[in-house]
C-alpha cells in the first residue's frame, strides 16, 4: 500500500514573512497517516525549514537546475537544495514546461535531484485540446517515458498528473477519469516499479474534493496549488485525505 502524499506548491506567492507564518501555522498538520510536503519559493526555504523544524512535514523546492554547481547564472543546484535540508523537488511543472522546458530537461533535472539525494516529483499532463482527442493516453505515456529517460533510481520517483486545464481554474478532472488515465500511465511503467511509484493528482484540489481523488486505487495523493496557501484549508485537505 502506497502512503498518500499531500503536497503544497506555493508557486511564486507570499513574501518571506508570510511564508514563515504559513509554515508556523502548519506545524500541527496531521502527518500521522499521510505524508505532507510544502514547496515554498527558493527565497523562503531556509526560514520555512526553521519554522517546520521538529515536525514531520517534508520540505520541497519548485524547480532545480539541470547542472551541478558552477557558472550557471540564476540557477539553483540540487546540492544547494540538499544543503538546506530539502527533501523533494518538483520538476516538469506545466508552468515550467510552458516557458520552454522540454522532457529531456525534465529528465536531467530529476537525475540531478536524485544524485543529490532529493526525491523528484515529475509532473505531466495534457492541454484541453489533447484531453479531448484520441491521442490523450499516448501523449501522456510518451511524456512520462521521455521525462524518465536515463533515470536509474526509478523507484524513488513520484509522478504528478496535472491536466493543464484544471490548474488554477476551479475545473477539476473527474476522479474516475483521472484514476483510469493514471492507471494506464502506471501500467506503462517498468514492471519492477509499477506498484511502488506514487502518482499524485493535481488541479484545483481543495478540502471538499480531495477525498474523491485519494479514495481511488491509482491516486496516491495530491499536488495542491492555490489551496495550499491557506493553512486551515491545507490542513483540512490533509485531514480529509487521511480519512478517505
Ligand atoms: O502544483 C500545483 C498545481 O499546479 C495545481 O494548482 P491549483 O491547485 O492552484 O489548481
Write down the CATH number for the domain with range 5-232: 3.20.20.70
Q: Which atom of ligand 1 is nearest to the CA of 206?
A: 8
Domains of the chain, residue spans: 5-232
- Give the pLDDT confidence of 176-215 residue by residue, as tens digits: 999 999 999 999 999 999 999 999 999 999 999 999 999 9
Q: Is the CB of 7 under 6 A from ligand 1?
A: no
pLDDT of residue 70: 96
Pairing of strands 221-224, 158-161: unpaired
Task: Locate the ligand 1 atom nearest the alpha carbon of residue 203 and give its number.
Answer: 10
Among 8, 122, 225, 227, residue to substitute to test ligand 1 (most atoms within 8 Å of Cβ)? 225
Distance CA 166, CA 20 (A): 28
The predicted structure's pLDDT at residue 244 = 85
Mean pLDDT of 97-114: 97
Give dist(CA 183, CA 7) in Å, integer: 20
- Compute, in angstroms, the gap from residue 38 CA to the centroid of ligand 1: 13
Percent of the chain with pLDDT over 90: 96
- Compute the distance between CA of residue 20 and CA of residue 204 in angstroms, rounded to an integer: 24
Residues 50-61: pLDDT tens digits?
A: 999 999 999 999
Residue nearest to ligand 1 atom 2, measured at CA = 225
Determine what percent of the chain is predicted with pLDDT higher than 70. 100
CA 171, CA 207: separation in Å to the nearest integer? 14
The confidence score (pLDDT) of residue 172 equals 87
pLDDT digits (tens, 9 = 90+) for 219-235: 999 999 999 999 999 99
pLDDT tens digits for 127-185?
999 999 999 999 999 999 999 999 999 999 999 999 999 999 988 889 999 999 999 99
What pLDDT, on a 0 to 100 scale, did the predictor assign at position 63? 98
Query: pLDDT confidence of 15, banded at 50, 70, 90?
Result: very high
Ligand 1 atom index nearest CA of 11: 1
The predicted model gives 88-92 an average pLDDT of 98
What is the residue-averaged pLDDT of the chain? 96
- CA geometry: angle 146, 148, 204, nearest 5 deg: 90
- Find the 174 Cα to ligand 1 centroid distance in Å: 16
Q: Is the per-residue pLDDT at 1 higher than 80?
A: no
Amino acid at each position: 500500500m502506497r502512503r498518500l502524499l499531500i503536497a503544497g506548491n506555493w508557486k511564486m506567492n507570499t513574501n518571506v514573512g508570510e511564508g514563515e507564518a504559513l509554515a508556523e501555522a502548519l506545524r500541527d498538520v496531521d502527518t500521522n497517516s499521510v505524508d505532507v510536503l510544502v514547496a515554498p519559493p527558493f527565497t523562503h526555504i531556509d526560514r520555512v525549514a526553521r519554522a517546520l523544524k521538529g515536525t514531520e512535514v517534508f520540505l520541497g523546492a519548485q524547480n532545480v537546475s539541470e547542472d551541478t554547481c558552477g557558472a550557471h547564472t540564476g540557477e539553483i543546484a540540487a546540492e544547494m537544495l540538499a544543503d538546506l535540508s530539502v527533501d523533494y523537488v518538483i520538476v516538469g511543472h506545466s508552468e515550467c514546461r510552458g516557458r520552454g522546458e522540454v522532457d529531456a530537461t525534465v529528465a536531467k533535472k530529476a537525475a540531478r535531484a536524485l544524485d543529490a539525494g532529493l526525491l523528484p516529483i515529475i509532473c505531466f499532463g495534457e492541454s484541453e485540446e489533447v484531453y479531448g482527442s484520441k491521442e490523450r493516453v499516448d501523449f501522456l505515456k510518451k511524456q512520462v517515458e521521455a521525462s524518465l529517460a536515463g533515470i536509474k533510481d526509478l523507484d524513488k520517483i513520484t509522478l504528478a498528473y496535472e491536466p493543464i486545464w484544471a490548474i488554477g481554474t476551479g475545473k477539476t478532472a473527474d476522479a474516475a477519469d483521472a484514476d483510469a488515465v493514471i492507471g494506464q500511465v502506471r501500467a506503462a511503467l517498468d514492471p519492477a516499479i509499477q506498484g511502488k511509484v506514487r502518482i499524485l493528482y493535481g488541479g484545483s484540489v481543495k478540502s471538499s474534493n480531495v477525498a474523491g481523488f485519494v479514495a481511488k486505487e491509482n491516486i496516491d495523493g495530491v499536488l495542491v496549488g492555490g489551496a495550499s496557501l491557506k493553512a486551515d484549508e491545507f490542513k483540512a485537505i490533509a485531514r480529509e485525505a487521511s480519512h478517505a
